[in-house]
Chains A and B, each alone.
Chain A
Amino acid sequence: MTTRGGAVRRALPWLVPVLILLAWQGGSELGWIRATVLPAPTDVALAGWQLLLSGELIRNVEVSAWRAGVGFAIGGGIGFGLGLLNGLSDLSEKLLDTSLQMIRNVPHLALIPLVILWFGIGEEAKLFLVALGSFFPIYVNTMHGVRSVDPHLIEMAQAYGMKRGMLIRKVILPGALPSIFVGLRYGLGITWLTLIVAETLSATSGIGYMAMNAREFLLVNVVVFAILIYAALGKLADSATRLLERTCLSWNPVYRNS
């Protein structure tokens, strides 16, 4: 009984997407939805299958995933480092935070014309935009996490003779981790968003390019398929982070057995 209840509960989140898919397919079959506006799910699946067979899909997904990964690692790494630094040091925070907050308020996609002037439409331009986009969520949340570690615990650790390095390793970083994870998930979201825009505007490979290229030839089913791939990759990254979160934060009752 419990296993059946569990299975039902696991299936529940997929009920709405499946219903939408069925309605979509039905609408297409009955001619309510024109194929030039939105092709039927079976058409989209077919397009996906063909792209998979030609090897085009794998190549483009690889390129996009590489851009997302490297750009995110650069931006997130710098964001984490600066967040840690500004969270720990008042001097550094006073010196840098105002400038960073000013830059943060410029939508990073507004820099696209400038970035194209600087880097052309090469890989650097896309990596730069992705890094810039993922930098701020990680930076802001790391700093906030470090700053909001229970001062009682820090006082205890200092009273028990912990030196700076050990204090950061054993108290501040673990204390800031829940907040850093929020930044991580948010940053990943921005990464995909940036990549879609960057690849659509100026690229010769990647999923965004694949979609734009298909648009030229009015292959709507490929366009829709590309959008679905983005959704799947985003969901994959988010799930991976959740899993990591649950492993790293198992001490926290909020994240335990969920």
Chain B
Amino acid sequence: MTVMTIDTVPAAPSPDRLSRETLPVDRRDSAALPVRLRGVAKAFDRVTVLQDIDLDIPSGQFVAIVGRSGCGKSTLLRLMAGLETPTAGTIAVGSGARFDATAVRLMFQEPRLLPWARIGANVEVGLTGRPVTRDKKYLALEALANVGLAERAGEWPSVLSGGQKQRVALARALVSHPGLLALDEPLGALDALTRIEMQDLIEGVWMEQGFTSVLVTHDVSEAVALADRILVLRDGRIAEDVTVDLPRPRQRGDAVAAGIEGYVLGRLLGGDGKRAPVDVLRT
């Protein structure tokens, strides 16, 4: 029987996660970064998008943020990635003093590859501003090999399919071994099978490299398939904090996962939690 907990208070970091926060400085380049938000609010032209966000993400955790469109989930991610500044509150990525903006890497809904740069050169963009110990071309090839596209390094992005482009974007995000990977609905535009392949790929590299990961998605099953923890955003606040304690790599079609999915969907749709399929949760 799989152990699973669902609670409405933020889950306390487990001891082994805490120990990873105090990694020695020399592993800084690949060390996962914790994220801490205190009283964060964001408004655009007096329209409040987010308010009272208090959030602790221990380093190495995979967090998914779900919510209806327009609930502010992308804004929350962009705040953490430093693309937006909060109207109020503080955001800390890493332990303050030695925070480096290039330790955060982003994947967008669109691949956003430079069409005039070869695929290898596009991956090298991910090394911008990062100290590199080896030849950039070598590192780019290595990252491309991780997503299974090493032999395409010399081609133009326009010859790739949508899924392949997104894999190149993943290689670009990971080539510098970021401390935090922010994923802004990166699989939203892909077909169902490609999406599952990409989910497995992302889970695989995450398990291998151990970076902190924040995924914004509208697909609850994707959140359950990937995340340690699902945050349900409603009316600009974190309405629910669900821990997904399932073994990895995640199996598809798992009954417990389906139970969590049903529960989160219920919270998203109903809001009062009454529609939660409690009988499934008791398995």
- Name A residues whose Cβ lies closer than 8 Å to a Cβ of B: 152-153, 155-157, 159-163, 166, 170-171, 174-175, 177, 249-253
The B87-121 residues at the A interface (CB cut-off 8 A) are 101-102, 105-106, 108, 110, 112, 114-117
B206 contacts partner chain A, Cβ-Cβ < 8 Å: no
**Inter-subunit contact A156/B108 (CB<8 Å):** yes
Report Cα–Cα, A177/B117, bound state, in Å.
Answer: 13
Residue in B83, B106, B128 whose CB lies within 8 Å of A162: B128
Report Cα–Cα, A159/B176, bound state, in Å.
Answer: 14
Report Cα–Cα, A163/B102, bound state, in Å.
Answer: 12
Report Cα–Cα, A159/B172, bound state, in Å.
Answer: 12
B276 contacts partner chain A, Cβ-Cβ < 8 Å: no
Among residues of B, the one whose C-beta sits closest to the C-beta of A251 is B116
**Inter-subunit contact A160/B102 (CB<8 Å):** yes
**Inter-subunit contact B128/A251 (CB<8 Å):** no
- Secondary structure at the A interface, as helix, strand, loop or mixed, is helix
Residues from chain A with a CB closer than 8 A to the CB of B128 are 157, 160-162, 166
Q: With A159-B106, A160-B105, A160-B128 given, is the CB distance from A153 to B114 under 8 Å?
A: yes
B236 contacts partner chain A, Cβ-Cβ < 8 Å: no
Residue in B83, B101, B158 whose CB lies within 8 Å of A161: B101
Residue in A155, A171, A177 whose CB lies within 8 Å of B114: A171
Report Cα–Cα, A157/B121, bound state, in Å.
Answer: 13
Report Cα–Cα, A152/B126, bound state, in Å.
Answer: 16
Residue in A153, A159, A170, A250 whose CB lies within 8 Å of B83: A159
Q: With A155-B83, A170-B117, A174-B116 given, is the CB distance from A251 to B108 under 8 Å?
A: no
B252 to chain A, nearest CB (A): 31
Residue in A162, A170, A251 whose CB lies within 8 Å of B115: A251
5 residue pairs of the A-B complex, CB under 8 angstroms, read A152-B108, A160-B125, A160-B129, A252-B158, A253-B158
Among residues of B, the one whose C-beta sits closest to the C-beta of A167 is B128
**Inter-subunit contact B102/A174 (CB<8 Å):** no
Chain B: interface residue total (CB-CB under 8 A): 23
Residues from chain A with a CB closer than 8 A to the CB of B32 are none
Residues from chain B with a CB closer than 8 A to the CB of A170 are 114, 117, 125
Among residues of B, the one whose C-beta sits closest to the C-beta of A163 is B129
Report Cα–Cα, A152/B106, bound state, in Å.
Answer: 12
Residue in B81, B115, B130, B156 whose CB lies within 8 Å of A159: B81
Residues from chain B with a CB closer than 8 A to the CB of A153 are 112, 114
Residues from chain B with a CB closer than 8 A to the CB of A177 are 116
Q: With A170-B114, A170-B117, A251-B116 given, is the CB distance from A157 to B108 under 8 Å?
A: no
Residues from chain B with a CB closer than 8 A to the CB of A249 are 116
| Supplied contacts A160-B125, A161-B101, 5 more A-B pairs, CB within 8 Å | A166-B128, A170-B114, A171-B114, A175-B116, A251-B158
**Beta-carbon contacts of B5-46 to A below 8 Å, as 1s and 0s?**
000000000000000000000000000000000000000000
A5 to chain B, nearest CB (A): 27
**Inter-subunit contact B101/A174 (CB<8 Å):** no
Residues from chain B with a CB closer than 8 A to the CB of A253 are 158
Report Cα–Cα, A166/B115, bound state, in Å.
Answer: 16
**Inter-subunit contact B129/A156 (CB<8 Å):** no
Residue in A152, A174, A175, A251 whose CB lies within 8 Å of B110: A152
Residues from chain A with a CB closer than 8 A to the CB of B126 are 160
A69 to chain B, nearest CB (A): 28
Residues from chain B with a CB closer than 8 A to the CB of A159 are 81-83, 106
Among residues of A, the one whose C-beta sits closest to the C-beta of B100 is A161
9 nearest A-B pairs in the assembled complex, by CB-CB distance: A161-B129, A174-B116, A156-B112, A161-B102, A251-B116, A161-B128, A251-B156, A160-B128, A159-B106
